[in-house]
């Protein structure tokens, strides 16, 4: 598809969605909005329009010129600039059991020293591999919220000794055996293994405790730049890339087929990691909402002001300048999706999770299509938001399912089939 057509398609998409409008002035201290008729008017940035006003006409120009521009805008205004990868990755195998899960899997637990210093910060990667195949296996990689031991009742999983957030089965912010397997519903390990995939996960608190002063004991404290120049989401995203550094070294993993998955705040981190690190072959966002897949300018559900107030440590300091001033942002979240092109990306919502703005998440997927078209890739393949529990997909995929803010078996069924489609 020619670029001029792509640009016209983007304008058409905006008009169809009712988004080609004049920017409205910001309201003062707005109430939470769940009414589509109260979504303010706004104009979205065209992902194909360069900073000098010219239009991108081909994939080469996108890759060499426009993509770096868009990436730099997100670094400057939203997530902050992450440090470069360390020169050397240090790791050690803490345990390896070839008869895990009643002989169905091999369980490895790897301690990664992301700065290459064994006296410095560490993060523990839990890796399950299917024993049914001796070939290199593709993998799903994702962070968990409560510690590796919470994703399955397997008694061989080490219990984290790092800070854990309140409400995750912790006593005085420390994990205990009572929390073992408490999040297993979100991690159907046996199903993943039976489909021929490995599963790798790490606890996000290993990188940085999730509270405002968590940076003081987190990875950001180890860099000379001001911690406020990049947020906790950037720190978690940086850690996901370090986990991939290890997977590249594991002789049982096909590192060219690693799908990155994240839910909620970790969906934001996964999108940002996938945007920066093109080694991730597939990127999956599960209900990532504001600061993730949802269009910020819609001010539906969670807004920039609310997220910066509740979680002032997640984004770079400059992002706070756009509290109730989303229209002044030089980027919006559909452009975050374009940074993943031409790789497959899946965005998912839940019907009852209006806080995450399902329509805004769908629109980001839809409005990323012109960039995928530059590479000859189809986007969603539909013009309208699909009905509940009816996924749509091509190179870009989307679904909205029944239920609340969570990761369910329905979600995993779609992600596994999406990976089958693109990896096999």
- Distance from chain centroid for Cα 363: 17
Query: Inter-axis angle of helices 358-367 and 3-16, to 10 degrees?
Result: 160
**Residues 108, 127 contacting (CB under 8 angstroms):** yes
**Residues 204, 126 contacting (CB under 8 angstroms):** no
Query: Which residue(s) pair with 91 in the sheet?
Result: 112
CA–CA separation, 222 and 137 (whole Å)? 34
Catalytic-role residue among 12, 168, 405, 422: 405
The closest alpha carbon to 235, from 256, 254, 214, belongs to 214
The closest alpha carbon to 6, from 399, 295, 398, 379, belongs to 379
Q: How far is CA 309 from CA 32, 164, 294, 303, in A?
A: 14, 21, 18, 10
Query: Inter-axis angle of helices 232-249 and 265-276, to 10 degrees?
Result: 60
The number of CA neighbours under 13 Å toward the Cβ of 345 is 35
Catalytic-role residue among 264, 288, 296, 349: 264
Annotation marks residue 227 as catalytic: no
Q: How far is CA 364 from CA 84, 160, 217, in A?
A: 28, 36, 35
The closest alpha carbon to 396, from 423, 364, 374, belongs to 364
**Residues 186, 407 contacting (CB under 8 angstroms):** yes
137-144, strands of its sheet edge to edge: 90-99, 105-113, 123-130, 198-203, 137-144, 253-263, 282-286, 345-350, 396-401, 392-393
Residue with tokens 């001010």: 299
Annotation marks residue 264 as catalytic: yes
- In this structure, the dihedral spanned by the alpha carbons of residues 242, 243, 248 and 252, taken in order and rounded to 10 degrees, is 170
Q: Which one-letter DSSP state was computed for residue 363?
A: H
The closest alpha carbon to 190, from 262, 145, 129, belongs to 129
Positions marked active-site: 264, 405
């Amino acid at each position: 598809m020619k670029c001029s057509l792509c640009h016209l398609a983007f304008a058409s998409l905006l008009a169809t969605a009712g988004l080609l409008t004049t920017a409205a002035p910001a309201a003062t201290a707005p109430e939470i909005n769940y009414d589509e008729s109260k979504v303010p008017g706004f104009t979205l940035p065209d992902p194909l329009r360069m900073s000098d006003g010219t239009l991108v006409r081909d994939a080469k120009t996108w890759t060499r010129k426009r993509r770096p521009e868009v990436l730099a805008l997100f670094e400057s205004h939203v997530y902050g600039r992450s440090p470069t990868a360390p020169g050397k990755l240090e790791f050690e195998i803490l345990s390896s059991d070839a008869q895990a899960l009643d002989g169905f899997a091999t369980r490895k637990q790897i301690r990664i020293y992301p700065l290459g210093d064994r006296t410095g910060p560490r993060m523990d990667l839990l890796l399950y591999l299917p024993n049914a195949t001796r070939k290199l296996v593709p993998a799903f990689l994702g962070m968990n919220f409560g510690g590796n031991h919470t994703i399955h009742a397997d008694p061989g999983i080490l219990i984290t000794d790092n800070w854990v957030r309140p409400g995750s089965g912790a006593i005085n912010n420390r994990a205990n055996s009572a929390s073992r397997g408490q999040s297993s519903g979100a991690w159907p390990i046996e199903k993943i293994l039976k489909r021929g995939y490995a599963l790798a996960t790490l606890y996000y608190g290993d990188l940085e405790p999730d509270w405002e002063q968590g940076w003081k004991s987190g990875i950001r404290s180890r860099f000379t730049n001001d911690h406020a120049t990049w947020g906790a989401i950037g720190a978690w995203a940086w850690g996901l890339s370090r986990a991939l550094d290890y997977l590249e070294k594991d002789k049982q993993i096909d590192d060219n087929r690693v799908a990155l998955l994240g839910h909620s705040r970790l969906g934001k981190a996964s999108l940002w990691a996938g945007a920066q690190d093109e080694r991730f072959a597939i990127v999956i966002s599960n209900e990532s909402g504001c600061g993730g897949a949802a269009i910020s300018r819609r001010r539906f559900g969670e807004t920039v002001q609310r997220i910066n107030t509740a979680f002032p440590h997640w984004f770079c300091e400059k992002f706070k300048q756009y509290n109730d001033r989303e229209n002044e942002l030089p980027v919006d979240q559909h452009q975050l999706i374009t940074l993943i092109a031409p790789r497959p990306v899946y965005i998912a919502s839940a019907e009852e999770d209006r806080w995450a703005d399902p329509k805004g998440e769908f629109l980001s997927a839809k409005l990323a299509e012109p960039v995928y078209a530059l590479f000859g890739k189809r986007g969603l393949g539909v013009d309208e938001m699909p009905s509940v529990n009816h996924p749509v997909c091509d190179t870009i995929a989307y679904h909205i399912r029944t239920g609340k803010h969570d990761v369910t078996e329905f979600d995993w069924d779609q992600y596994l089939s999406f990976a089958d489609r693109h990896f096999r």
